[in-house]
Amino acid sequence: MKQGYRLLMLATVIAAVCGMALSFTLEAGAGLRGTLSRGLILSSLIGFAGVAILRPQYQRAGSGSMGGEVREKDRQSCTFQNVAANAQALHSLEELRDYLMTPEKYAKYGARMPKGVLLYGPPGTGKTLLARALAGEAGVPFFALSGSDFVEKYVGVGASRVRELFKKARKAGRCVIFIDEIDAMGKKRDDNSSDERDQTLNALLSEMSGFYTGDGVVVIAATNRIEMLDPALLRPGRFDRQIEVGLPGRDERLSILRLHGENKPMEADVDWENLAAMTVGFSGASLENLLNEAAILASARDSGTIQMDDVERAFRKTIAGEDRPSLADAQERKIIAIHEAGHALLGRLLMPENKLTRVSILPSGHGAAGYNLTIPAERVMLSRSAMENQIRVLLAGRAAELTVFGEEQTTAGASNDIARATELAAAMVLELGMAGEPAVSVRVLGRQCGGMGDAGDRCRKLLDELFIQTRQLIEAHIAALDALASALLVSEALDGERACAILDEALSNESQKTA
Ligand code: ADP
Ligand code: ZN
C-alpha cells in the first residue's frame, strides 16, 4: 500500500509545465538570490502533480495561527454530502459514524474499535474535509490541531498540549479529534530526534491507550508522508486503520467540480467533461481553487454568470500565472523561444499522447520566462520508456539552446528542468530498477547494507545518454524547431493546436525532403 502510494506519487511527477526559470541574465539587477528563489517557486509549482500544483500549500483555516489552541467546530457544518469522490475512504468512515453515534452498542459486543485512523495522501485531497464530515455526520464535536502546533522548542510543552487536548475532548464526551500533519510530531526516531518530539509522541500514545470503546472518541490523523512516521504510531491500538486518500481520477474530478459548481452561477457553456480531462493531477483543493479563481474573474466582469472562458483563463492563471509584458531584449527572447520550442518539439515527437495546450515566451506571473503547458495523458503506472521520454522532453530546452547558440551562451534557464530530470533519473536507478539491475532497489540496499554503490555514476550515465539522444533528435529536426521558434517570436503565445500544426507541417516537409 505504502509502496503503491510512493509509486503513484512518482507517476504523477511528470512534466506538465516545462517552464524556463527566470534567470538573472533575464532580469537585470535581480541578483542570484532572486533567481534561486524564483526557481524554487517554479519547482514547487510543478513538482507535485500532473498538470501542476497551484498553491504550494492549501491554506487551512486556523492552522498555524492557532498556536496550539483547541478548536471545536460547528457540529453541523459539514457532512458526507460535502465530499465528492473518495468513495473508499467514505465507506470506511461510515462504520465509524455508526460507532460514534452508538459506542455502547460496540462496547456491548466487546468489539475493539480502531482508536486512531490515519488518512494519508497528497495535500488537498480532502483529508481534513473527511474528518470534519465524520464529526458532522455523527453530530459530535470536532477538535482540530496541526502536528506542527505541538512541536516547540521547550521540552514538555508539546506533551502538555497533547494532554490538554485530550482533556478537553474527554469533557466533550463523544468526539472526533483531528491531528493534521502528524508527521511533524510522529517522525521516525533517529539520532537527530529531539527529547521534545519524543515526549510529545509518547504523550499522544499514552493518551490514546487511555480511552476505551465505550468512550466514543475517534482520533483521526493526516499526513502526506506516511513513510516518515514512527512505526510505534501504526501499531494495533494506535493508528491501526490506515486509509489512502489519493488524487482524484477523471470521473472523481468531474464529481468534485460539479459539487463545487453547484453553488455558483455557472453558464451552460461550461464543459465539465473537458474540465475534468484538463485537470489531470489536480487535488480536490486545486479544483475548488480553480472554480473560485474563475468566479473572481467573472465577478470582475460582472456579466451575471461564470463562463467557460473564465474557467480556462483561471486554469492558465493558476498553473502558470498571468502573462506579464514581453521581454525587451531581442536576444533573450530568441533564446527563450528556442528553449520552449525544444520542449514542444520533443514532446510532439516522443509523447504525442500528451496534450499540448499552450506555448508561451511571455514571462509568467509564477516566475517562468516562458513555458509549455501540457496536459499529460492519465496513467497510473509509468513505463521505463515513458520515463525516459519524459526526461528527454525536460532536457530538450537546454539541448535546443546548446544546438542553436553553442556552449558559450548557455543560460541558467534550464535549472529547474535539469533538477526534475535528475530526480526522475535517480528514481529509475534507486527505486525502480529501470537502469541496470532490473530487480534491485538501491535505496533499500543502501539503508540495509550501507552505501549506494555506484548509483550516482549510473544516474549520470543515464542522463548523459538521454541528453545526447535529445540533442540528436533536435539536430535531426532543426527545421521544425526553427519554424516553431519563429512563430513564437511573432505571436509570443500559441495555443497548443496551432503549435502542433506548425511542428507537424515542418516535420512532414522534412520527411518529404529526405524521401
Ligand atoms: P487535505 O486535508 O487533504 O490537505 P482538505 O480537506 O483541507 O485537504 O481540502 C481542502 C478543500 O478542498 C476542501 O475544503 C474542499 O473544498 C476541497 N476538496 C478536497 N477534496 C475534496 C473532495 N473529495 N470533495 C469535495 N471537495 C474537496
Ligand atoms: Zn525548460
pLDDT, tens digit, 9 for 90 and up, residues 359-370? 999 988 887 889
For 395, counting Cβ atoms within 10 Å of its Cβ (0-12 exposed, 13-18 middle, 19+ buried), the class is buried
325 in any annotated domain: no
Q: Is 134 in the pocket of ligand 1 (CB under 6 A)?
A: no
Q: Which residues are catalytic?
A: 340
Asked whether 81 and 46 are in contact (CB, 8 A), the reply is no
Do residues 225 and 275 share a domain?
A: no
The residue segments making up the domain with residue 474 are: 330-514
Q: Which ligand sits nearest to residue 78's alpha carbon? A: 1
Domain with residue 314: its CATH number is 1.10.8.60
User: Based on the domain organization, do 314 and 432 belong to the same domain?
Assistant: no
> For residue 311, what pLDDT band results from cuts at 50, 70 and 90?
very high
Task: Identify the nearest ligand to the CA of 338 by its number.
Answer: 2
Let me know whether 285 and 425 are in one domain: no
- Residue 67: inside a domain, yes or no? no
The answer to whether residue 434 sits within a structural domain is yes
| CA 345–ligand 2 middle distance (angstroms) | 12
Return the C-alpha cell found at 182.
Answer: 502528524
Q: Which residue minimizes the CA distance to atom 12 of ligand 1?
A: 285
pLDDT of residue 215: 81
pLDDT of residue 67: 36
Together in a domain, 190 and 151:
yes
User: Rounded to the nearest whole angstrom, what is the distance from the C-alpha of residue 468 to the centroid of ligand 1?
Assistant: 43
The mean pLDDT value for 264-274 works out to 94
Whether 126 is in the pocket of ligand 1, judged by its Cβ within 6 Å, is yes
Q: Domain for residue 229, yes or no?
A: yes
Q: Which of 281-285, 468-472, 477-481 has the lowest mean pLDDT?
A: 281-285
Calculate how far, in angstroms, residue 473's C-alpha sits from the geometric centre of ligand 2.
Answer: 16
Residue with the nearest Cα to atom 14 of ligand 1?
129
- 148 C-alpha vs ligand 2 centroid, how far in Å? 35
CA 105-92-4 angle, 5° bins = 145
**Integer Cα distance of 315 and 17 in angstroms:** 12
| Interacting residues of 256 by C-beta distance below 8 A, sequence separation 6+ | 84, 85, 248, 284, 287, 288
> 500 with 361, same domain?
yes
Q: Which ligand is nearest to the CA of 126?
A: 1
For ligand 1, whether the C-beta of 222 sits within 6 Å is: yes
What order of strands is seen across the sheet that includes strand 355-360? 17-21, 368-375, 355-360, 493-495
Q: In whole angstroms, what is the distance from residue 317 CA to residue 309 CA?
A: 12
Whether 365 and 496 share a structural domain: yes
Looking from the CA of residue 84, the nearest atom of ligand 1 is: 24
CA of 227 to the centre of ligand 1 (A): 22
Q: Is 256 in the pocket of ligand 1 (CB under 6 A)?
A: yes
In a domain, 131, yes or no: yes
Last residue of a domain, one of 244, 279, 295: 244
Average pLDDT rounded to a whole number, residues 105-129? 91
Q: Which of 333, 411, 301, 73 is nearest to 82 (CA)?
A: 73
**Contact 288 CB / ligand 1 (< 6 Å):** yes
Q: Which of 133, 161, 126, 128 is nearest to 74 (CA)?
A: 133
* 286 touches ligand 1 (CB under 6 Å): no
363 and 277 together in one domain: no
- Ligand 1 atom nearest to CA at 60: 7
Distance CA 48, CA 15 (A): 10
Q: Which of 151-165, 226-240, 492-506 has the lowest mean pLDDT?
A: 151-165
**Are 192 and 285 in a shared domain?**
no
- Closest ligand 1 atom to Cα of 121: 3
Task: Report the residue among 73, 125, 146, 282 best suited for mutation to probe ligand 1: largest number of ligand atoms under 8 A from its CB.
Answer: 125
Q: Is 216 a member of any domain?
A: yes
Residue 499 has pLDDT above 80, yes or no: yes
- Domain boundary residue among 291, 320, 349? 320
Rg of the Cα trace of the chain?
A: 25
Whether residues 9 and 125 share a domain: the answer is no
**335-355 confidence digits (pLDDT tens):** 999 999 999 999 999 999 999
83 Cβ inside 6 Å of ligand 1: yes
Q: Who wins on pLDDT, 77 or 313?
A: 313
Q: What is the mean pLDDT of residues 438-462?
A: 88
Residue 19 and residue 371 in contact, taking contact as beta carbons nearer than 8 Å = yes
Which residues does 441 contact at the CB level (< 8 Å), separation at least 6?
430, 431, 433
Ligand 1 pocket test, candidate residues 253, 288, 292, most atoms within 8 A of CB: 288
CATH code for position 348: 1.20.58.760
User: For residue 149, what is its C-alpha cell?
Assistant: 502546533
162 and 118 part of one domain = yes
- Whether 174 and 93 map to the same domain: the answer is yes
Closest residue by CA, ligand 1 atom 11: 285
Residue whose C-alpha is closest to residue 99's, from 87, 117, 82, 111: 111
Give me ligand 1 centre to Cα 287, in Å: 9
CA-82 nearest atom, ligand 1: 25
Cell of 472: 540528436
One-letter amino acid of 107: A
Ligand with an atom nearest the CA of residue 335: 2
Alpha-helical regions (H) of 189-283: 195-209, 231-234, 250-261, 272-278
- Determine the Cα–Cα distance for residues 367 and 413; give it in Å rounded to an integer: 11
Candidate of 129, 130, 134 to mutate for ligand 1, largest count of ligand atoms within 8 Å of Cβ? 129
**Higher pLDDT among residues 194 and 161, named by residue:** 161
Work out the angle at residue 193's Cα, subtended by the Cα atoms of residues 191 and 195, and round it to the nearest 5 degrees.
125
Residue 473: CA count within 13 A, CB half-sphere: 24
CA distance 223 to 312: 31
The last residue of one of the domains, among 288, 320, 352, is 320
Cell of 288: 475548488
How many domains would you assign to the chain?
4
199 pLDDT above the threshold of 90: no
Asked which of 395-409, 434-448, 452-466 is least confident by mean pLDDT, the reply is: 434-448
- When pLDDT is averaged across residues 16-26 and rounded to a whole number, the result is 48
pLDDT of 476 higher than 90: yes
Taking residues 82-92, what's their average pLDDT? 92
pLDDT, mean over the chain: 82
Domain-embedded: residue 56: yes
Residue 106 lies inside a defined structural domain of this protein: yes
Q: Ligand 2 centre and the CA of 215: distance in Å?
A: 56
Minimal CA–CA distance to 411: which of 356, 340, 349, 470? 340
Is 289 found in the same domain as 204?
no
Report the C-alpha gap between 127 and 139 in whole angstroms: 18
